[in-house]
Amino acid sequence: MPSLISDADRLGFESAVAHAQQSYDEGGVPIGAALVWHGEEGSNVTTSDGDSDVGSRVIGQGHNMRIQKGSAILHAEISALDDAGRQKPDVYRNATIVSPVTS
């Protein structure tokens, strides 16, 4: 039977779950997020660590830090977008944000 999700989305899901676990372990809200860029032939994306690639990859990841830092805005999705850094609009058009909740 074929997989129900792509390899890129599976990678994003696994990254987001790991970050949700990290938040839980820190005593925070157990929500993680990952921004997965699906790639595009002839287009490059720069990751937060300065690498460039044309294939699908996680370009940003993070977890909820509202309790840990006493902030009303540090949601997991904001953390993942911040980690991805500034990207061109075509990168966001070809990206998916994954944000599962663990307990």
Catalytic residues: 77
Contact status, residue 53 vs residue 45, Cβ threshold 8 Å: yes
Gap between the terminal Cα atoms of the chain: 29
Distance from C-alpha of 66 to C-alpha of 103, rounded to nearest angstrom: 17
Contact status, residue 66 vs residue 27, Cβ threshold 8 Å: no
Per DSSP, which regions of 20-94 are E strands? 32-37, 45-46, 52-53, 57-63
